[in-house]
Amino acid sequence: MKKYLFTPGPVPVPEEILLEMARPIIHHRTADFEKIFAEVRDGLKYVFQTKEEVFVLASSGTGAMEGAVANTLSSGDKALVVDGGKFGERWTKICKAFGVEVEEIKVEWGEAVDPNLIKDALKKDPSIRAVLMQSSETSTGVMHPTKEIAAITRERDDVILIVDGITAVGVFPLPFDELRIDVLVAGSQKAFMLPPGLAFASMSGKAWKFRERSDLPKFYFDFKRYLKDAKDNTTPWTPPVALVIGLAAVLKNYKNEGLEKIHKRHATLAQGTREAIKAIGLELYAKDSPSTALTAAVSPPGIGAGKIISGLRERFGMTVAGGQDQAKGKIFRISHMGFIDRSDIIAVISAIECVLRDLGHKFDFGAGTKKASEILGAE
């Protein structure tokens, strides 16, 4: 049975990228690698839409999240965390592990944060030194208003904005320099359509000022070391060479396609998926601001999400993601990031309809596939 991957990380990897990574390995302290790394540096700046350096870390996205905290904050600092899902919770856990005091803005899962809550919190407590948030909360399929929040934090010289863009960078517009985000992180296994193992991070001039006073422990994720070595087209520590080679090929394709087209492609796939899910008679978990990276669908009453997920896997070879923590058993999540195209979405919607029909869900069979085809076929 052919296998299909529709999880929001890892995502499918294009065959041409797999072939690039299968080439004979090269040493990372050579002119050959430095040439490839120079291309990677340039390409990452293009995708992040920044003139700042974008660091390449050998880790999952969580490593970049940890580095973002360790390189900017100090022991006893207070951080304001937007907690609207599993990965918002992760910011809190990282901060507390480093002795950073946390004030949380609790947001109901499936909803986007109101920027006014952040504005009010900063006004009420001038001791807050950072706002940490997800641009796209992967666990709920919600897109938080990064642009509006950045407009608030950039007015304060003593507050930085740290953004988890792991399912945002390369999916929808998130221009680092223009918005004046202070730290932005991403990961290879999302829109960059690579295997897991690389994380990316960039820091603004304001964030570097915070770095100079930061007293938190840092070694492997010391961004000052990464900045110094990047200028010589290398990394402080041994990089996953094959992944970096694959990254260079991905970034070359990104430039050829163009960021605007990439963002539009993701938006169209997201629209087709969302409208198809609604046509089947299901609700979207993201109530007001769904992300274009993935669609989280609420299972019908009386039918657990686990049955839908296992049905897709066992009958059609399709892997989608389930819910986490409080959403476990209630939702299933379909990715449309990276190496996913129109025919993939139409196929998974058709399979969902077959599984739901056989599980007893009453709906107009074929309505979802028809809706997806109408939207995606118009492109």
Provide the pLDDT for residue 104. Answer: 98
Q: What is the mean pLDDT of residues 137-143?
A: 98
- Calculate what percentage of the chain has a pLDDT beyond 90: 98
pLDDT tens digits along 45-71: 999 999 999 999 999 999 999 999 999
**Exposure of 19 by Cβ count < 10 A (0-12 exposed, 13-18 middle, 19+ buried)?**
exposed
Asked if residues 154 and 177 have their Cβ atoms less than 8 Å apart, the reply is no
User: Is residue 251 scored above 90 in pLDDT?
Assistant: yes
Query: Given this chain, do its domains 4-9+259-377 and 15-256 carry the same CATH topology?
Result: no
The H or E element spanning position 376 is helix 367-377
Provide the pLDDT for residue 70. Answer: 98
Question: Three-state SS across 198-262?
Answer: CEEEEECHHHHHHHHHCCCCCCCCCHHHHHHHHCCCCCCCCCCHHHHHHHHHHHHHHHHHCHHHH
Cα 290-357-300 angle, rounded to 5 deg: 45
* Residue 303's pLDDT band (cuts 50, 70, 90): very high
User: CA-CA distance, 331 to 159, in Å (whole number)?
Assistant: 36
Provide the pLDDT for residue 248. Answer: 98
User: Is residue 91 scored above 80 in pLDDT?
Assistant: yes
Closest C-alpha to 130, from 100, 174, 90: 100
Q: What dotted CATH number matches 15-256?
A: 3.40.640.10
Report domain extents, the chain: 4-9+259-377, 15-256
- Read off the pTM: 0.97
Provide the pLDDT for residue 59. Answer: 98
User: CA-CA distance, 103 to 100, in Å (whole number)?
Assistant: 10
* Residue 255's pLDDT band (cuts 50, 70, 90): very high
Q: What is the mean pLDDT of residues 154-183?
A: 98
SS3 331: strand
Strands 160-164 and 128-134, how do they pair? parallel
- The amino acid that residue 325 corresponds to is D
Q: What is the mean pLDDT of residues 90-97?
A: 98
* Residue 378's pLDDT band (cuts 50, 70, 90): confident
User: CA-CA distance, 242 to 244, in Å (whole number)?
Assistant: 5
Rounded to the nearest angstrom, the gap between the alpha carbon of residue 309 and the centroid of all alpha carbons in its chain is 22
Contacts of 279 (CB under 8 A, 6+ apart): 364, 367, 368, 370, 371
DSSP state of 326: G
User: CA-CA distance, 121 to 117, in Å (whole number)?
Assistant: 6
Provide the pLDDT for residue 379. Answer: 61
CATH H superfamily, domain 4-9+259-377: Aspartate Aminotransferase, domain 1 (3.90.1150.10)
Cα 133-135-140 angle, rounded to 5 deg: 95
User: Is residue 327 scored above 90 in pLDDT?
Assistant: yes
- Calculate what percentage of the chain has a pLDDT beyond 70: 100
Tell me the backbone φ, ψ of residue 4, rounded to 5 degrees.
Answer: -125, 135
Number of helices (H) and strands (E) in the chain: give both, helices first.
14, 14
- Mean pLDDT for the chain? 97
